[in-house]
A = this chain, B = another copy of it.
Amino acid sequence: MSRHAQHPIDRAVALERGDGGVFHGQTSPDYANMVGPFGGTTAATMLNSVLLDPRRLGDPVALTVNYAGPVVDGRFAIRADALRTNRSTQHWSVAMSQADQICTSATAFFATRRDTWTHTETGFPEVPPAGDLARFDNAAMPPWTRCYDMRFVTGGRPSTGQGVDELDSLSMLWIRDEPPRPLDFVSLTAICDSFFPRIIIRRPQWVPAGTVSLTVYFHADAAQLQRHGAGPLLGVAKASHFGLGYHDQTAEIWSAAGDLLATSHQIVYFKE
C-alpha cells in the first residue's frame, strides 16, 4: 500500500498480488469517464504493476500504453513480464485483461538514472501563475475531471458550442491532483493523459474520440518528483496532424520552477 493511501488516485491504481505473478485491481468511480475509466488512471495502473514488482530496477524512463479495447467498470487482472534485464536497464511488457480478453497492453522501460549533461531545449512558455487564473468549471464534465484542479491559460473546452474552428489545437493549463497530493510517477502518468482530445479543442463540437496509444518519456527521477511536492504543473498540448480517423498529440509537463518533467505523445481516434 502506498504512503498516499487516502488519495483517490491511490485507490484507483491499487493492486493486489494474486497467483502466478498476476495482480488484481478494480476501476474507481472517482475516475469514471463517460464510458469506463479515465485512460490516465489505466496508464498509471499499468505502470504501478511494475513499480510494485520486487524485480523492478530503477525509475521509469519510457512507457507506452495501448488502449486495445474498452475497459469495463469493475475488476481486472494485470500481468507484468520483465522481458529483459541488463546491468542498469530493464524492459517490461504489461497486459491488462478482463474476462480473459486483453483490454490494455503496455511496454515500459526502466533504468537507474545518473547525472549527465543536462539541457532543456524547449522553452518554458510565458504564462500567468496558476493563482491568477480561474478554476475550470467541470460541472458538466465526467467524474475524473473533478479529481484535478485545472486552470486554463488557453485551449480549454470551448463553451460557445457554435462549431467555429479555432486557429490551432493548443492547450496550456495549470493542473494538479485534487485534493493536492505529492507528485510521483503514478500521478504524473495520469496527468500526461488528462488533456481533452485535440479534435474537440480545434473544432469546438463534441465528437466521439479516444486515445488509442499513449507514450510518456520521463525526464525526472523519483527524487526530483518528490522535491516538486504537490504544486500545480504546467501542461502544454497540441496536435500536428488530423486525418484518416486519427490525430496525434504532443504534450509537455513542466514544474512551476521550469523543469520539464515529462513529454508525452499519443494517437487519438476521432469520428467525423
A246 CB–B CB distance under 8 Å: yes
Taking a contact as CB atoms closer than 8 A, the residue among B105, B121, B217, B272 that contacts A117 in the complex is B272
CB distance from A118 to the nearest CB of B (A): 3
B109 A86 Cβ-Cβ under 8 A: no
Q: With A68-B91, A84-B102, A168-B121 in contact, is A219–B243 under 8 Å at CB?
A: yes
Interface residues of A toward B: which range? 35 or more
Q: With A213-B62, A265-B215 in contact, is A119–B260 under 8 Å at CB?
A: no
A271 CB–B CB distance under 8 Å: yes
Which of the 9-residue segments A35-43, A189-197, A233-241 touches chain B?
A233-241
A interface: dominant SS: strand
Q: How many copies does the complex hold?
A: 2
Taking a contact as CB atoms closer than 8 A, the residue among B64, B95, B122, B238 that contacts A240 in the complex is B122
B116 A241 Cβ-Cβ under 8 A: no
A203 CB–B CB distance under 8 Å: yes
Bound state CA distance, A172 and B260, in angstroms? Answer: 24
| CB 8 Å contact bits of A243-272 with B (1 = contact, 0 = none) | 111101010100000001001010101111
A83 CB–B CB distance under 8 Å: yes
B215 A64 Cβ-Cβ under 8 A: yes
Q: A83-B102, A120-B240, A240-B252 are in contact. List 12 more A-B contacts (CB 8 A).
A: A69-B84, A84-B101, A89-B212, A93-B93, A113-B244, A116-B245, A117-B243, A120-B243, A217-B246, A220-B244, A250-B263, A250-B265
